[in-house]
Amino acid sequence: MEITMLPKDCISHIISFTSLRDACSFSMVSPFLRSAADSDAVWECFLPPDYKEILSKTALASSMDSMSKKELYFHLCQHPVVIDNGNLSFGIDRESGKKCYMLGARRLHIIWGDTQTYWQWISLPDSRFSEVAELMEVWWLHIFGQLETKVLSLDTTYVAYFVYKFAESRYGFQEKPVELEVYFEGQEVHGGTRCLFLDTPIDMPQMSHLRRDGWMEIEMGVKLRPQKLSELNSDTVMRMSRSNRNEEEEQKERPYKKNALTFTSFFTARTRVYTADESRACFIADMYLRRGILKHWISFRQVHEFSWNMDRKNMVGLKRVRNHSAIYIYIIIYSYRKYHSLFFWFLFPEKENQRKMEITKLPEECISRIISFTSPRDACRSALVCALFRSAMDSDLVWRKFLPHDYHQILSNSLQPSLMDSLSMKQLFVQLSHHPVLVDDGNMSFAIDKNSGKKCYLMGARRLAIIWGSSPQYWQWISLRSSRFSEVAELRHVWWFEIKGRIETNILSLQTTYAVYFVYKLRWHRYQFHEKPVTVQVNFEGDDEIHGEGYGSREVLLGPPENGNMQLPCGVYRGEGWMEVESGEFFNDGGEGHGVVAFSLMETDNYTCKFGLIVEGIELRPNAG
């Protein structure tokens, strides 16, 4: 029976169980098989199973129905689509149909990425993303990201690449390698840390590659299975250097076929300073195939004996390199087959006394950079060390790091925008920690915590929702010299006492536990607040879960009880005649689900009249605990 006598749908079903390459080969046999191989039934199987769900959120969704599955397949191979609000691109591998993802710069965590002094966000016509990050100047380069494996193709080995390009003016990437690593969260790093030059020096093999889109890429992921040096004896090494064996014999005797070596891809030695008692690093790389490298940790004596007891008949050359980290690197080149070379890198230290340096010999700007990675409290302590440290600590470079990253925008919209022009960064920090400024048309104040530099906000009474607050018979609005706001709310008398407020968490400091305080005064002539508890509550809008002891509702007393029985939390004095009582606390993790925090005070016993309370507002500040 001829295969062409089978129904076309049957042949398409058979081809769908083959590979992409086989399907393309079938289409060259005959017009009938070409028609079967080009059918949607075949190419639907080569596309990822969830491709419809992925593309439904892209601009390609509208044109997906008008394309055949084969056209869609090759479109995704050559033209990745942007998803995740434009921060992630999706494509498929041409050979296998496996998913490919590229995380845009906006989806990565770039240290100081929001600080214009160090990074700026620009648009480039050759980028698939609307914005890319351009490095202006940093001493600390740290970029990290994460991706859930459930979005990737199953049973697939993935390789991670760092994609970048250089501006016309660049510095520092030929002098020092960068550290790259790929690992599963919660597990040890797979393959260790790779140290690579993004801008390869002229005397070293090229480590990055030019992509078709004009960008550079460098491989981040590497898998290593290092063995003990005792397993790599001299006979094994000599077998690696012989060239008079045929290919089949060499394949049998190569050490990495016996799990003595596992080759991956070439990278440079990570520079470190060693002492005579520490282990040394031995790096072995196949320079012709550029397939890999092995790293052994061995003693100083073993390195010395291993490097010089080898037969030198096949040694091509010896290179001695002095790098910037006070390490001598010996590179021994051995011939391997006709066109192969093996590089053996051995690291030897200088004497300990040749590496010592007084910290005071560092440039003042360098010391300022170091201090900027501490806390405001530690920075002030460092000023006691010496005059150089005091000068370095006072620099704007240090105190700009301690200020909130968006302080300029906040102050420009405040009632004192000129505050930034006349003060140094340190003076501005101290000013904001002791003298809050009014924002939001004078209805809210902004300050910073002096110990951490975190943001503090006090929402004035005018920014709160006070039940019957606009009825003069229940509440009246007055001015007090002791208040930072132009108006405060005085309670005349109510039976139903209820005050609510809300604030968006995106204006607060991230990864911070905030405490919420109700700020008020009590008149001498007051009623019910010393014996009737008030219910206070703090929660995220739309979130009914309980987040710790301070989250949710509880009862407090605004005035001290007359009998002195302090069974409930009670208000305390905070200065200028004002009192405060803690309403609760919450943790601002910056997550999408926690966008607004709501807080309230309530006492709704209709049988008791309440009066004699003055409300200044509700304050949010970092929890000192």
Residue 7's CATH number: 1.20.1280
DSSP secondary structure code for residue 506 in this structure: G
Enter the pTM of the model: 0.45
> pLDDT for 319-359, tens place per residue?
444 433 333 334 444 443 333 334 444 444 443 444 445 66
Q: Calculate what percentage of the chain has a pLDDT beyond 70.
A: 70
Q: For residue 302, what is the enclosing H or E element?
A: helix 300-308
DSSP secondary structure code for residue 271 in this structure: P
Provide the 3-class DSSP secondary structure of residue 476: strand
Number of domains in the chain: 4
Kindly report the backbone phi and psi dihedral angles of residue 624, in degrees, each rounded to the nearest multiple of 5, phi listed first.
Answer: -65, -25
Residue of 50, 26, 46, 151 lying closest to 95 (CA atoms): 46
Domain housing 392? 357-402
The terminus-to-terminus CA distance of the chain in angstroms comes to 83
Shared domain check, 615 and 506: yes
CATH for 364: 1.20.1280.50
Structure tokens given for 167: 């501006």
Q: What is the dihedral angle through the alpha carbons of 541, 547, 549, 554, rounded to the nearest 10 degrees?
A: 20
Q: Which amino acid is at 189?
A: V
Cβ(299)–Cβ(322) below 8 Å? no
- The CA distance from 281 to 232, in Å, is 15
How many CB atoms are closer than 10 A to CB 447?
20
> pLDDT for 64-84, tens place per residue?
778 898 999 999 998 899 998
Cβ(484)–Cβ(436) below 8 Å? yes
Shared domain check, 616 and 467: yes
CATH for 455: 2.60.120.260
Shared domain check, 333 and 262: yes
Shared domain check, 323 and 252: yes
Residue of 119, 97, 96 lying closest to 109 (CA atoms): 119
Q: Give the mean pLDDT of 493-509.
A: 90
> pLDDT for 404-430, tens place per residue?
988 888 888 888 777 777 788 999 999
The answer to which of 207-211, 298-302, 443-447 has the lowest mean pLDDT is: 298-302
13 pLDDT tier (thresholds 50, 70, 90): confident
Shared domain check, 592 and 481: yes
221 pLDDT tier (thresholds 50, 70, 90): low
Shared domain check, 575 and 449: yes
> pLDDT for 520-556, tens place per residue?
998 877 666 777 888 999 988 876 554 444 456 888 8
Residue of 446, 483, 485 lying closest to 575 (CA atoms): 483
> pLDDT for 132-179, tens place per residue?
999 998 888 899 898 888 888 888 888 888 999 998 888 888 877 888
Please tell me the chain's helix, strand, coil percentages from 3-state DSSP, rounded to the nearest 5.
Answer: 25, 30, 45
Q: Calculate what percentage of the chain has a pLDDT beyond 90.
A: 24
375 within some domain? yes
Shared domain check, 483 and 579: yes
- The CA distance from 318 to 492, in Å, is 92
Shared domain check, 330 and 367: no
- The CA distance from 23 to 5, in Å, is 19
Cβ(511)–Cβ(588) below 8 Å? yes
Report the pLDDT value the prediction gives residue 322, as an integer from 0 to 100: 41
Q: How many angstroms separate the Cα of 287 from the Cα of each of 71, 204, 229, 345?
A: 41, 11, 21, 12
> pLDDT for 581-624, tens place per residue?
998 998 888 766 568 999 999 887 766 788 889 999 999 999 87
- The CA distance from 137 to 116, in Å, is 10
139 within some domain? no
Shared domain check, 606 and 468: yes
Shared domain check, 568 and 468: yes
Q: For residue 370, what is the enclosing H or E element?
A: helix 364-372
501 within some domain? yes
Beta bridge partners of 517: 582, 619
Cβ(492)–Cβ(477) below 8 Å? no
Shared domain check, 385 and 462: no
